[in-house]
Amino acid sequence: MKDLAPQIFRQRLIIEGFPDFEISDLHIKDYLSTLSNEIGMVTLLDPVTHRSDQFGWAGWIHWETSGAHFYAWEQPQLFFSVDIYTCKSFEVEDATQFTKEFFEASELVFKEV
């Protein structure tokens, strides 16, 4: 993909995994708030969540330098997916290690985009 705006810094990270427990809205809010501190982001809007009976939980946090989305499934299996997008650099290892520990993930994968 051609970088249309090389003068604008952007960093994207997708993290997915299998949590050791069913994720609730409180888990999502706590995770997103703490993730902000772990990777050095300034929160502009506290996390918000919503539950779809068909697809499970979703959450979002707004940072001064963009934000993060979180999705959690209960069916067909316990699973989560996090999309982090920022205009400020952060350490991928910090985000992935924190996520793995927070959700006691039995397996975790990630990809920078």
Tokens found for residue 108: 């975790």
The stretch 47-58 carries a mean pLDDT of 94
The CA-based angle 54-58-59, given to 5 degrees, is 165
pLDDT in tens, 59-77: 999 999 999 999 999 999 9
Instruction: Look at residue 55 in the predicted model and tell me its pLDDT.
Output: 87
What predicted TM-score, i.e. pTM, was given to this entire model?
A: 0.95
Do the beta carbons of residue 79 and residue 73 sit within 8 Å? yes
CB atoms within 10 A of CB 1: 4
Mean model confidence pLDDT for the chain: 96
- What the chain holds in terms of domains, given with CATH numbers, is 11-112 (3.60.90.10)
